[in-house]
């Protein structure tokens, strides 16, 4: 299958790319810079590199004339107060241009990296695809805009929007909560938590996400779907921190603080029962994170 991957040099894209090529797909990877050096992918067999700005209305001129599927992982997650316009360009305009290109080329599948942040303030302990969207941050708004675009062309372009939590892996962001806990534990810093008894599964690992995307590319579906993803877990927030402290031999202490805002966990029914998502258990994921970061 011929696949267009955006964000090929980004945090997720660089870790996802090997899963696509190892599955036998030919990948045209779009990057902002002209030097795709990350993660040793620059000379990876089965990959062609395209340098371009997806927010440019003429981006289609640089892209392949024929493609089977698009995996859209390019995004701008944060911006300084004086650069909010970049979120609009890079998350909304870029996605719209890519959707128009997909329709013009007869693309059969469109997989979109959205975010749990589209939900904004979550008032329930259980989050699923039907959880209301209440006052999301600007980043969440821009990603939801991409979802709405895909819904508007659902009859022409089958799509799945993956509402991602923090994604752990070799190149994961240090701001993801388990990574921050690990950093504090390694520094023997006391760790503050809220809602200690709430189940924690708001994270997945690239070693589960990568195979899931490969699996989705093999499936047939119609319409537009938004799917929250979360880990398989039987650990509470407090137990998650305790596990990291124990595994690292940390001297950190846990400080439980009051918080008026509820914590939530992600229901995996749609992802697992309908689309076949499988996650490693949380303890295995934490072990892998520690191995990747510490060793």
Find the mean pLDDT for residues 251-260: 92
* Residue 101 structure tokens: 């290109």
pLDDT confidence of residue 195: 92
Where are the domains positioned within the chain? Answer: 2-167+203-228, 174-201+233-261+280-294
User: What does the block give as tokens for 43?
Assistant: 């000379």
Confidence of residue 86 (pLDDT cuts 50, 70, 90): confident
* Integer angstrom CA distances of residue 241 from 171, 255, 263, 284, 295: 21, 11, 15, 14, 19
**Would you place residue 40 in the very low, low, confident or very high pLDDT band (cuts 50, 70, 90)?**
low
Q: Could you tell me the two tokens for 267?
A: 């229901």
Q: Does domain 2-167+203-228 have CATH number 3.40.50.720?
A: yes
Q: 290: helix, coil or strand? A: helix
Q: Does CATH number 3.90.25.10 belong to domain 174-201+233-261+280-294? A: yes
Q: What's the whole-model pTM score? A: 0.94
Q: At residue 266, does pLDDT exceed 90? A: yes
**Structure confidence at residue 149 as a pLDDT band (50, 70, 90):** very high
Residue 182's pLDDT is 98
- 124: helix, strand or coil: coil
* pLDDT above 90: residue 268: no
Please tell me the predicted confidence (pLDDT) of residue 89.
87
Of the ranges 23-27, 52-56, 185-189, which one carries the lowest mean pLDDT score? 52-56
Which segments within the chain are labelled E, that is strand? 2-6, 26-31, 47-51, 69-72, 109-115, 126-127, 159-164, 166-168, 191-194, 203-205, 224-228, 254-257, 265-266
């Amino acid at each position: 299958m011929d696949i267009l991957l955006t964000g090929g040099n980004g945090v997720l894209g660089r870790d996802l790319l090997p899963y696509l090529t190892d599955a036998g797909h030919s990948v045209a990877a779009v990057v902002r810079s002209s030097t795709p050096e990350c993660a040793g992918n620059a000379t990876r067999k089965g990959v062609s590199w395209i340098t371009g700005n997806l927010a440019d209305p003429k981006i289609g001129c640089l892209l392949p004339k024929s493609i089977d599927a698009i995996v859209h992982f390019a995004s701008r997650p944060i911006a300084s107060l004086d650069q909010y316009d970049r979120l609009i360009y890079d998350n909304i305009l870029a996605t719209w241009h890519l959707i128009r290109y997909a329709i013009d080329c007869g693309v059969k599948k469109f997989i979109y990296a959205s975010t749990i942040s589209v939900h904004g303030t979550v008032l329930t302990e259980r989050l699923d695809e039907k959880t209301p969207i209440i006052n999301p941050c600007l980043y969440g708004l821009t990603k939801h805009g991409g979802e709405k675009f895909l819904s508007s062309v659902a009859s022409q372009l089958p799509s799945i929007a993956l509402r991602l939590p923090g994604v752990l892996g070799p190149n994961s962001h240090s701001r993801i909560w388990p990574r921050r806990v690990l950093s504090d534990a390694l520094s023997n810093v006391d760790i503050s938590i809220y809602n200690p008894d709430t189940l924690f599964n708001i994270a997945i690992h690239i070693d589960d996400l990568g195979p899931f995307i490969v699996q989705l590319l093999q499936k047939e579906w119609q319409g537009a779907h938004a799917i929250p993803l979360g880990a398989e877990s039987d650990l509470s927030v407090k137990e998650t921190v305790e596990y990291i402290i124990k595994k690292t031999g940390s001297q950190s202490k846990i400080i439980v603080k009051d918080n008026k805002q509820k914590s939530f966990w992600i229901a995996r029914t749609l992802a697992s029962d309908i689309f076949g998502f499988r996650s490693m258990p949380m303890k295995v994921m934490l072990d892998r994170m520690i191995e990747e970061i510490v060793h």
